Amino acid sequence: MSFRVFGVKAWKFGGCILLRWLSGSKLSYDSWQIHFMTDKTDLKPTASITLRAAYPSEARTIASMSRLYIEHGLHWRWTPAKVKRHIRDKDTMVLVASRDAVIAGFAIMRFGDDQAHLFLLAVQPEFRRTGIGRSMMQWLEKSCRAAGIQQLRLEVRASNRGARLFYWQLGFWFLGQVAGYYDRREAAVIMVRSLNDPRPRFSSD
């Protein structure tokens, strides 16, 4: 459901309201706000977790998580400076899942005209298997639907079978493989999800 008020277009979905300035052509960090309402039925497994946009001051923590849990054994590309640029980028959402001021997980997605690209997603080990990863993906997917985006795309390390299974369970399909994508020594598996497809195969992550 969408409505307009004072030059702003708003969508209500998943217990949230997404606001976007009508003058903007794409989702913007500077022009949109996320408001959680009292009904959090979509987040029952992680009721104490808050999903929100990342602050620039959190770039170092997010970059460190990427280095530990995603880029381990590779050249560190998602440095604090790079993460901070994406936090400030108007076409990119850096989403964090926080509890008691602790970042439990994060995701970085860039919104295009018809396709959104998931760059990174990670959850701290002590918070895994609690639904946080799934909740972040659901939130991003609903944002894409509200913006009229039809397809999601991501790359994942070929050796990361757990991540590949996680995305497959969420409805992603294997599109192909790129040899040497990571530091010219590890292949990447390309996965896509059409938002016109049926709901994910399984509800757990």
Q: State the catalytic residues.
A: 155, 167
Nearest to 45 by CA among 118, 106, 99: 99
